[in-house]
Amino acid sequence: MVLENLEEVNQRILSACKRAGRDPGEVTLVAVSKTKPASMIEEAYSAGIRDFGENKVQELCEKYEELSKDIRWHMIGHLQRNKVKQVIDKAVLIHSVDSLRLAEQIEEEAAKKALTVDILLEVNVAEEESKFGFRLDDTECAIRKIALFPHVRIKGLMTIAPFVENSEENRFVFKKLRQFYVDMQSKNIDNVNMNMLSMGMTGDYEVAIEEGATLVRVGTGIFGTRYKIGENEV
Ligand SMILES: *Cc1c(COP(=O)(O)O)cnc(C)c1O
């Protein structure tokens, strides 16, 4: 099932690129494997997928130990400061830096390990109460502060768009983040070289690609539905 799903997702990515006149080489599919077993990850791996996304530090660390070392693990979920030190040497990219304090913690732990950690700033474009992330209005200020941290490298921006019935409803969210991203690129802030835009999930990745996403995070579309425990989707 994973292989068939992947084929379909890859086709849809290609079509979206074609519609937008984009080179498919600019778009990386991050297969979101949270809650899914190693066997399913291996199936996707056998089809050539190397980028996998997890939203919990413990799960990412366990899978990191268990699975192939050439997998690129992406931390995409809200990160607690006390877990930063476990994840910074395992994830290739932290998509979900949602506060200055978290960035400071990453800087501190990265300095101890003499690492440079690549991050994206998570932006709550639609200003949903329930979501983490910087308000768009506060993001430039945060970028300018974090740009001064020697062990952290801002590679771009990430957003989680609202849950909607029709993905077209999220087009303005992606457009808005992309506009801001281009604006930031043009400001040539020292030590900031933004070339990654992480946006789009199973329900809306095609629209996100049309609007400029360079990383799409697709879980359900590849691995099928996740189970829910209580109120929290796991
Ligand atoms: C779970 C998750 C995804 C994938 O969601 P799907 O709708 O299953 O594709 C993408 N991004 C983040 C941040 C997630 O937590």
- Provide the residue-wise pLDDT of the chain in tens; the chain has 234 residues: 999 999 999 999 999 999 999 999 999 999 999 999 999 999 999 999 999 999 999 999 999 999 999 999 999 999 999 999 999 999 999 999 999 999 999 999 999 999 999 999 999 999 999 999 999 999 999 999 999 999 999 999 999 999 999 999 999 999 999 999 999 999 999 999 999 999 999 999 999 999 999 999 999 999 999 986 554 555
* Stated pTM of the model: 0.96
Q: For ligand 1, say whether the CB of 200 is within 6 Å of any of its atoms.
A: no
Tell whether 69 is covered by a domain.
yes
Residue numbers of the domain that contains 155: 34-198
Is residue 215 a part of any domain in this protein?
no
Note whether residue 234 is domain-resident: no
In this predicted structure, what is the pLDDT of residue 74? 99
Q: Is residue 39 part of a domain?
A: yes
**Residue 219 alpha carbon to ligand 1 centre in Å:** 6
Beta strands in the chain (DSSP E): 28-32, 51-54, 72-75, 91-97, 117-122, 152-158, 196-198, 215-218, 228-229, 232-233
How far apart, in Å, are the Cα atoms of 48 and each of 6, 29, 54, 75, 112?
A: 10, 11, 18, 20, 34
The answer to whether residue 137 is domain-embedded is yes
Q: Is position 146 within any domain?
A: yes
* Closest Cα to atom 5 of ligand 1: 219
Closest CA to ligand 1's atom 12: 76
Distance from residue 4's CA to the centre of ligand 1 (Å): 19
174 CB contacts (<8 Å, ≥6 apart)? 159, 161, 199, 200, 204, 207, 208, 210, 211, 212, 213
Compute the distance from residue 217 Cα to the ligand 1 centre, in Å: 6
Q: Give the integer Cα–Cα distance in Å for 106 and 179.
A: 27
Q: How many domains does the chain have?
A: 1
Q: Is 10 in the pocket of ligand 1 (CB under 6 A)?
A: no
Residue 147 lies in a domain: yes
Q: Which mutation among 5, 173, 217, 225 tests ligand 1's pocket best, with the greatest number of atoms within 8 A of CB?
A: 217
| Ligand 1 centroid to residue 2 C-alpha, Å | 16
CB of 202 shorter than 6 A to ligand 1: yes
pLDDT of residue 227: 80
| Ligand 1 nearest atom to the CA of residue 220, by list position | 8
- Do 137 and 162 form a contact (C-beta atoms < 8 A)? no
Is 52 among the domain residues? yes
Determine contact, residues 214/229, Cβ cutoff 8 Å.
no
Residue 82, domain CATH: 3.20.20.10
Strands 232-233 and 228-229 turn out to be antiparallel
The two three-digit tokens of residue 14, written as one number:
């290609």
